[in-house]
Structure 1
């Protein structure tokens, strides 16, 4: 499994939570729920990105 993002983005930019969530779902689907060490690392990165996207959305809404 590749640990690279299928959706290229510029580091430092924040993708929407929905986009990151879709990538998380695709990762789990692609691995049938059995993450390799590389997939687990990517999952952790995506979780951090997803949380940042949620925070950015809350700031924008405020």
Structure 2
């Protein structure tokens, strides 16, 4: 299971986070357990943070 970056470390790429989200859904066959749901929510938060970071860099 991937771990989120800690403060002061480089964020993972959007492609890496997206690959983890896709893999989670493949492993779950489309039905997330409570643990899978927590992982999905964590990955979505990481994905959003990366997108926000990309938007800030582009500005």
TM-score (norm 2): 0.83
Which of these residues, 11, 27, 40, is aligned with residue 6 of structure 2?
Answer: 11
Post-superposition Cα deviations, 1:22-58, rounded to whole Å, max 9, x if no partner, equal 1000000111111111000000000000000000011
Count of aligned pairs = 57
RMSD: 1.5
Give secondary structure in 2 for the equivalent of 1:33: coil
Query: Which blocks of at least 5 consecutive residues in structure 1 are unaligned?
Result: none
Bigger shift: residues 47-56 or 11-20: 11-20
Show the counterpart of 2:26. Answer: 29
Ranked by relative contact order (alpha carbons within 8 Å, sequence separation 6 or more), the top structure is 1
Distance 1:9 1:52 in 2: 11
